[in-house]
Amino acid sequence: MSVRVALRRLVFGGAAFAAGTAVAYIDDPEQLPFDLSNVAQKALQQLDAERAHNVAIWAAVHGLLPIEKRADPPRLRTAVWGKHFSNPIGLAAGFDKDAQALEGLLGLGFGFVEIGSVTPLPQPGNEQPRAFRLPELKAVINRYGFNSQGLDVVRANLIAYRRTQLHRPANQPGPGPGLVGVNLGKNKLSEDAAADYCLGVSKLAPYADYLVINVSSPNTPGLRALQGRKELEKLVRKVKATRDGMSWGAAGPPPLLVKIAPDITEADKSDIAAVALKLGIDGLIVSNTTISRPQAVAEHPEGHQAGGLSGAPLREVSTEVLRDMYRLTKGKLPIIGVGGVSSGADAYDKIRAGASLVELYTGLVYEGPALLRRMKLELNALLQRDGFANVQEAVGADHALPRR
C-alpha cells in the first residue's frame, strides 16, 4: 500500500470516528444541517469491505455509533413467541459474529440483533479478500466461511452484555432494550454437524432470546446438504432434544429456528415445511445468501467472485421463497424475512408475504445507521395507509389465510 493510500484511509477513518462520536451525543441528529452518519458512511466506503466492517464493529464496541433516543411508533410494536419487540426490524447474523458490539448495535434502534454464526471451536474462515462490494447494484458477495472466535469467547461476551442490561435504567430514553438471537454454525472440519450444533445450544441457549440452526451458508462445504429432509429431521431432533433437556424457568427455552437458503427446489421447500411442522420447529429464517448470479451481477467486475450474494439482487427471490414457506407451513410458524431489505417498503413486502420479523445487513452497509429510522417511519406510514393497527395484523396479508 502506498503512503498516499495509507494516509487517505487514515483521514477517512478518523472522519468516520469523529462523525460517529458527534452523532452519538446529539439528542436529535435530524436538527443538524447535514447528516453526520452519512459522512461517516462515505468515509467507510473508502476502505475495503472487510476493513470497513471491522471499523464499524470497533466503533460500536467503543460507543461511537449514533444512539437512538426516540421511542418507536406504537404501531411497530409486536410480539412473537411471547416476546415483545419494540419494532420488527433486526440486524442479520454476520455483522456481529462474536457478540462483541451488542450494546452499540442495539443502541441504533434495532428491535433485535442476531449474532453469529458461532462455531464450537475458533476458526479463521477463508482466506482474504473474502468480501466484495458491488455498489452499482447495492450488493455484496462474501465467502467469509464462518470465521468465529468460538463458543467460549462468545459465551463470555453474552454474559457480559446480559450483566450490563441488569443495570439499564428503566426510564432510559429510546426504543427500549432489544432482543438477541444466536445463530449457530459448525466447524469446517467437523465430521459430526449435530454434535457441533448441540454443543452450541448447551453453551449459549441460556443467553439467547432465540436460537438459529444455520444450515444454509454457501461458504462451508457440505453444509447445505443438511437441508435435505432426512438430514434435517435427524439434526433437528438432536438439537431440539439438547435444548429441551436443559433446565429452564417459567419462561421456558428459547425458540429454535432453522435458516434456509434461497437456492432450493419446490420439493426442498415442501420437505423443509413438513419437517418444521412435524417436529415443532419454532420458526424459519428466509433466506441466506444466494449462489446464483443474475445477469447484472454476472456482468459486474466483481460478479465472478465465489461466495454468497446479498443485497438488492436477492430481494425478490428471497421474498418469493418466504411467500412459499408461509403457504406451505399454513401460516403456523413465525418467519424472519431477510434478503435485500433496504427500505420500509421492502420490510412491508416481506411482512405481507408472511414475515413476522425482518432483518437487514447489506442495506446498512450502503445506507448507514440513518437507514433504520427512515425504515421505521416508512413502515409505520404503510401500515397506517392500509388500515393495520399493528405489524401482526399485516403478517401474511397477501395470502388467503387466516391471520395469526
Q: Are the CB atoms for 86 and 175 separated by under 8 Å?
A: yes
Q: Are the CB atoms for 362 and 343 separated by under 8 Å?
A: no
Interior angle at CA 61, CA 55 and CA 65, nearest 5: 70
Beta strand pairing call for 335-338 and 179-184: unpaired
- The strands making up 139-142's β-sheet, listed across from edge to edge, are 131-134, 139-142, 308-311
DSSP structural state of residue 227: G
| Amino acid identity, position 333 | L
Active site residue 217: yes
| Amino acid identity, position 346 | D
Burial letters for 175-203: b for 16+ Cβ neighbours within 10 Å, e otherwise?
bbebbbbbbbbbbbebeebbebbbbbbeb
Q: Cα 130 vs. chain centroid, distance in angstroms?
A: 19
DSSP structural state of residue 146: -
Question: Residue 10: how many CB atoms within 10 A of its CB?
Answer: 10
Distance from C-alpha of 94 to C-alpha of 286, rounded to nearest angstrom: 15
Q: Are the CB atoms for 116 and 212 separated by under 8 Å?
A: yes
Distance from C-alpha of 13 to C-alpha of 41, rounded to nearest angstrom: 10
Cα–Cα distance list, 298 to 305, 321, 342 (Å): 9, 22, 22
**Cell 460478479 sits at which residue?**
303
294: left (phi over 0), alpha (psi -120 to 50) or beta: beta
Distance from C-alpha of 343 to C-alpha of 89, rounded to nearest angstrom: 11
**List 217, 310, 318, 342, catalytic entry:** 217
* Helices 266-279/315-328 angle, 10° precision: 50
DSSP structural state of residue 290: B
User: Exposed/middle/buried for 153, CB within 10 Å: 0-12, 13-18, 19+?
Assistant: middle
- Catalytically active residues are 217
